[in-house]
Amino acid sequence: MFDLKGKIAWVTGASYGIGFAIANALAGAGAKIVFNDINQELVDKGLAAYNERGIEAYGFVCDVTDENAVNEAVKKIEQDVGVVDILVNNAGIIKRIPMCEMSAQEWRQVIDVDLTGPFICSKSVIPSMIKKGGGKIINICSMMSELGRETVSAYAAAKGGLKMLTRNIASEYGEFNIQCNGIGPGYIATPQTAPLREKQPDGSRHPFDSFIISKTPAARWGTPEDLAGPAIFLASGASDFVNGHILYVDGGILAYIGKQPK
Ligand code: NAP
Ligand code: GCO
C-alpha cells in the first residue's frame, strides 16, 4: 500500500533541504520525480544531486508565486512526463523580523510564497487529478501552523493559513478522490534554520539551539530524512481515507511543556 510505482510526484522547491529529502523518499517508493526551483543554478544543483542518487528527475525553473509560469509548467509536465498524481507544496521562505519593523512588502513576500504559492500550484494540478480519478496534495506546514513566536508573524500567518487551505482543499475536492493533507515539521536542520544553530564565537551552542533541544522530548533537531516515511504515507494508498489532516513530525515538541531548567 506504500508503493508509488507508476505515480508522478511534483515537489516544489526541491533542489535541497526538506523538499529534496521528500522527493528522494517518494522516488525510493517508486514515484517519478518532477521538481522546480527559483533559478536554473538551483535546478542544475538539484538534478546533479538526484542523478548522484540514481534518480532520474525532471527539473524546471518556476517561481511558485507566478500563476502563468506555474500553469505553463504544468502543461509541459503533462506533455513531457504525464499527469501529476502527487503534489508536495514544499517551496517556502521565512523572514525573521519583529512585526512592527516588518514592511507590508516583506509581509506580502512571505504570504505570497508560503500560502499563495500552494494555492496556485494546487489549482494547477487539481483539474487533471479529477479527470484521472484522484490525486494527493501534501502541504508542508509548520509548528507555526499552531504556535507563534517573536519575529515570525508573516510566516506563522502563512503556515496557519496553509493548514486551513489544506482542510479546505480536502473539503472541496474529497469527493473526487483527492486527499489533501499537511506535514508539520518541527525544527529541522536545513539551510532555512542554519542561523538558529550557528555556533557562538566562544564555540558554545546558539541559545535558540539549546532552547529547541530543551523543548523537544527527542532532545534533538529533526533531519529532513525524518520526514521521508510520513511523506510516503500521505502520498500513497495507505492514506486514502486520511483527508484534511496535519501530521506533525516534531519529535514531540507540540506535546511537551519543555525540560525544567536545572
Ligand atoms: P529551505 O532550505 O529554505 O528550502 C526552500 C526551497 O524552496 C529552496 O530551494 C528555495 O529556493 C525554494 N523556494 C523559495 N521560494 C521559492 C519560490 N518562490 N518558488 C520556487 N521555489 C522557491 O527550506 P527548508 O527548511 O527545506 O523548508 C522547506 C519547507 O519546509 C518550507 O515550506 C518551510 O517553511 C517548511 N518547514 C521548514 C522547517 C525547518 O525547520 N527547516 C520546519 C517546518 C516547516 P531558494 O534557495 O532560492 O530560496
Ligand atoms: C523559526 C524556524 C521555524 C521552523 C519551522 C518550525 O524561525 O522559528 O525557522 O519557523 O522553520 O517552521 O516548524
Q: Give the pLDDT score at 236.
A: 98
φ, ψ for residue 203, nearest 5 deg? 90, -5
User: From start to end of 82-231, where are the E strands?
Assistant: 86-89, 135-140, 178-185
Read off the pLDDT of residues 144-154 as tens digits, 9 standing for 90 and up: 999 999 999 99
Q: Domains in the chain, ordered, with CATH? A: 8-187+222-255 (3.40.50.720)
Q: Give the residue, out of 110, 192, 246, 250, with the most ligand 2 atoms within 8 A of its beta carbon, to mutate for a pocket test.
A: 192
Give yes or no for a contact between 28 and 52, defined as CB atoms under 8 angstroms apart.
no
Please say if the pLDDT value at position 262 is more than 90. no
Using a 6 Å cutoff on CB, does residue 92 contact ligand 1? yes
Ligand 2 centroid–CA 139 distance in Å is 15
Q: Ligand 2 — pocket residues by CB below 6 A? A: 94, 96, 142-144, 149, 152, 155, 185-187, 192-193, 196
State residue 261's pLDDT score: 82
Here the cell at position 188 is 529541522
pTM of the model: 0.98
Please report the atom of ligand 2 found closest to the CA of residue 196: 7
Q: Verify whether ligand 1 is closer than 6 Å to residue 17 (CB atom).
A: yes
Name which of 51, 37, 19, 13 is nearest 231 in CA terms: 19
Give the count of alpha carbons within 13 A of 226, CB side only: 19
Give yes or no for residue 142 CB within 6 A of ligand 1. Answer: yes
User: How far away, in angstroms, is 178 Cα from ligand 2 center?
Assistant: 28
pLDDT at residue 246, as a whole number:
98
Instruction: Indicate which residues carry an active-site annotation.
Output: 155
Nearest to 43 by CA among 12, 74, 70, 88: 12
Which ligand places an atom closest to the C-alpha of 191?
1
Percent of the chain with pLDDT over 90: 98
Q: What is the whole-number distance in angstroms between the Cα of residue 200 and the centre of ligand 2?
A: 20
Q: Give the mean model confidence (pLDDT) for residues 215-230.
A: 97
Handedness of CA 245, 246, 251, 256 (dihedral sign): negative
Ligand nearest to the CA of 162: 1
Nearest to 55 by CA among 35, 79, 84: 35
Give me the pLDDT at residue 68, please: 98
Q: In the numeric block, which cell numbers belong to residue 225?
A: 530524512
Q: What is the pLDDT of residue 43?
A: 95
Residue type, 95: K
For atom 34 of ligand 1, the residue with the nearest CA is: 92
Question: 86-89 and 135-140: which strand pairing?
Answer: parallel
Ligand 2: which residue has its CA nearest to atom 3?
187
Cβ of 188 less than 6 Å from ligand 1: yes
Question: Comparing C-alpha atoms, which of 1, 37, 39 is closest to residue 16?
Answer: 37
pLDDT of 60 reads: 97
Q: Could you tell me which residues come within 8 angstroms of residue 151 by beta carbon, excluding any fewer than 6 positions away?
A: 96, 97, 98, 99
35 lines ligand 1 (CB under 6 A): no
Amino acid (one-letter) located at 147: L
Tell me the pLDDT of the chain averaged across its residues: 97
pLDDT number for residue 160? 98
Mean pLDDT, residues 121-139 = 98
Ligand number with the minimum distance to the CA of 95: 2
12 confidence band (pLDDT: 50, 70, 90): very high
DSSP 204: P
Q: Could you read off the pLDDT of 167-206 as tens digits, one per residue?
A: 999 999 999 999 999 999 999 999 999 999 999 999 999 9
